[in-house]
Amino acid sequence: MTLTLTSHHSKVGLKLDRDAVVDLHPSREGLTRGGITLRVREGRLWITQTGDPNDHVVGVGESFHTDAPGLLVVQALEPSVVNAA
């Protein structure tokens, strides 16, 4: 699944099966207005981003924020619910 977040006001809720992969493409407008935040409501995610040498594992109640350009690849390590804004 591929999503493009087109503005800072875009909010997306996703329910992901285990091993589901989502490509997130932050828009330039969204990045200049505060970036993109992923909040995990249920489950656990693995997140990697073009240009970031680190991978991130984010669990329930945690969030990942970026204001850097580049494709975000998100994989559910277990059934997960995540909000992207």
CATH number at residue 47: 2.60.120.10
* pLDDT for the residue numbered 69: 81
Distance, CA of 21 to CA of 14 (rounded, Å): 11
The total number of structural domains in the chain stands at: 1
pLDDT in tens, 40-67: 999 999 999 999 999 999 999 999 998 8
* pLDDT for the residue numbered 28: 55
Reported as a pLDDT band with limits 50, 70 and 90, residue 71 is confident
Q: What separation, in Å, do the N-terminal and C-terminal C-alpha atoms of the chain show?
A: 17
* pLDDT for the residue numbered 38: 93
The residue range of the domain holding 58 is 2-84
83 in Cβ contact with 74 (< 8 Å): no
Of residues 69 and 59, more confidently modeled: 59
